[in-house]
Structure 1
Amino acid sequence: MYNNRMKKVSIGDDLSRKRPPESKKYANVKALTNTGKTITKAAMSWEELNLNVRYRKNEHFRRIRAETLVSLLQAEDDEDSPEVLLLDLRTSEEYDSCHVRGAVNFPKSMLSRAMNPFIPEILEFCNREPQKIIVLYDIKERQSVAAGNIFFEKGIDNVFVLSKGMNSLIQDKFLCENLLIGDVPLPVPSSRASSVASTRASSRAPSVMGTPRKQVGTPRALQPYDTKVKIKLLSSSLRKSKPSSWH
Structure 2
Amino acid sequence: VTVSVLYWKPLGPNCIYKLRQPRMSVPKPIGDPKLLSRRLERNPKFSDVDSVVDTGSTVNTVQRVRESEVSVKRNPGENFRRLRPSTVARLVSAALEPPQERDADEFGLPPPPPPMKLLLVDVRDRDEYDACHIHTAMHYPAMMLNRSTNQFTPELLTFKNKDNHLVVAYDLEEEIVTARKVANIFFERGFDNIAIISGGLKEFVQTHSDMITGPPPCPIVPRKAARPPLSSASSRGGLRGLDGASTKATSVATSHKPKSLSTSLARRNDSSQAWR
Give the TM-score normalised by the residue count of structure 2. Answer: 0.46
The equivalences for 1:6-155 within 5 A come to: 54-76=73-95, 77=99, 79-129=113-163, 131-141=164-174, 142-155=177-190
Aligned-partner Cα distance in 1 for 2:168–2:133: 14
C-alpha distance in 1 between matches for 2:143 and 2:155 = 17
Q: What's the CA shift string for 1:29-86, capped at 9, x where partnerless?
A: xxxxxxxxxxxxxxxxxxxxxxx95322210100001001111222234753210000
The question of whether the paired residues in 2 share the 8 Å contact of 1:137 and 1:166 is answered with yes
Aligned partners of 1:183, 1:162: CA distance in 2, in Å?
A: 19
Partner AA of 2:181 in structure 1: A
Q: How far is 1:171 from its partner?
A: 2.1
Residue 139 of structure 1 aligns to a residue in which SS? Answer: coil
CA contact (8 A) 1:82 1:132 kept: yes
* Counterpart for residue 182 of structure 1: 214
Q: Does 2:182 correspond to 1:160?
A: no
3-state SS, counterpart of residue 69 of structure 1: helix
**Bigger helix share:** 1
Looking at structure 2, the residues matched to 81 and 186 of structure 1 have their Cα atoms a distance apart, in angstroms, of 31
Q: Determine which structure has more spread, i.e. the larger CA radius of gyration.
A: 2
- Aligned pair 1:171/2:206, yes or no? yes
Equivalenced residues, count: 138
**Which residue of 216, 220, 223 corresponds with 1:220?**
223
Which stretches in structure 2 are left out of the alignment for 5+ residues? 1-70, 101-112, 225-276
Letter in 1 for 2:129: Y
Q: Which whole-Å CA distance do the structure 2 matches of 1:54 and 1:80 have between them? A: 27
Supply the AA of the counterpart residue of 2:121: L
User: CA deviation digits over 1:171-221, x for unaligned, max 9?
Assistant: 22xx01x11101222259xxxxxxxxxxxxxxxxxxxxxxxxxxxxx8328
> Percentage identity across aligned positions?
36
Q: Secondary structure at the match of 2:119?
A: strand
CA distance in 2, matches of 1:54, 1:64: 9
How far apart, CA to CA, are the structure 2 residues paired with 1:53 and 1:171?
17
Equivalent residues of 1:110, 1:117 under 8 A apart:
yes
Shift in Å, 1:90 = 0.6
CA spacing shift, 1:187–1:60, aligned 2, 3 Å:
farther
Q: How far apart, in 2, do the equivalents of 1:60 and 1:53 lie?
A: 13
Summarize the Cα distance change of 1:159–1:75 in structure 2 as closer, same or farther, 3 Å threshold. same
2:212 aligned partner, one-letter code: L
Structure 2 Cα separation of the partners of residues 89 and 58 of structure 1 = 20
TM-score norm. by structure 1 comes to: 0.52
Question: How far apart in 2 are the matches of 1:58 and 1:90?
Answer: 22
Residues 54 and 64 in structure 1, CA contact (< 8 A), matched pair in contact too: no
